[in-house]
Amino acid sequence: MEKSHQKVLETDLSKDQLKVLKEAFNAFDKDKTGHIPTDVVGTILELLGHKLSEEELEEVIDEYDEDESGQIEFNEFVELASNYVEPEEDYDALRKELREVFMMYDKDAMGYIPLDTFKQILRELDGAVPEEELDDIVDEIDADGSGTVDFEEFMEVMTG
Ligand SMILES: [Ca+2]
Ligand SMILES: [Ca+2]
């Protein structure tokens, strides 16, 4: 067997996501050859929630079988699969950012923002929103009806 090229893996995926891909890869690389046949790539992508047509799949494999071995090695597989898995970092970064915003309004670090305060924020963001509409909005935001907006509810509004 020829020496596999030691390309540094460039990926935005987290360690956990890489682990999942590694497990999926290994499950199909039963003989531990370090590569999987191209026809199981479609199956794996389907497991990841992406059903590709035969044509699309062929194109994808053409593009990512960099050494043109007709097989998909793990590093090729990771690069290919990266296009179909959402990088977690993005979400984490967004969450962190929103956490900071949330804490700006949760001055006493109570873990929640009273609905009145939240309405005030909305008024500041857009003074043209009628009062009753604000009521509707905060009603919807306060999913558990606690009269306060906690961070999860806040996240939901900002990302939903
Ligand atoms: Ca290859
Ligand atoms: Ca609530």
What is the reported pLDDT for 76? Answer: 94
Q: What is the pLDDT of residues 45-59, one digit of tens each?
A: 888 888 899 999 999
Q: Per residue in 89-121, is it b (16+ CB within 10 Å) or e — as a string?
A: eeeeeeeeebeeebeeebeeeeebbbbeebbee
What is the reported pLDDT for 62? Answer: 93
pLDDT, mean of residues 137-145: 90
Interval between CA 86 and ligand 1 midpoint (Å): 23
Q: Is the pLDDT of residue 88 over 70?
A: no
pLDDT, mean of residues 123-127: 81
Interval between CA 56 and ligand 2 midpoint (Å): 45
Q: What are phi and psi of 12, to 5 degrees?
A: -95, 0
Is the separation of the CB atoms in 141 and 149 below 8 Å?
yes
Identify the residue with better confidence: 94 or 1.
94
Q: How confident is the model at residue 6 (pLDDT cuts 50, 70, 90)?
A: very low
pTM: 0.51
Q: Is the pLDDT of residue 84 over 80?
A: yes
Interval between CA 54 and ligand 1 midpoint (Å): 18
Interval between CA 148 and ligand 2 midpoint (Å): 5
Interval between CA 146 and ligand 2 midpoint (Å): 4
Interval between CA 112 and ligand 2 midpoint (Å): 8
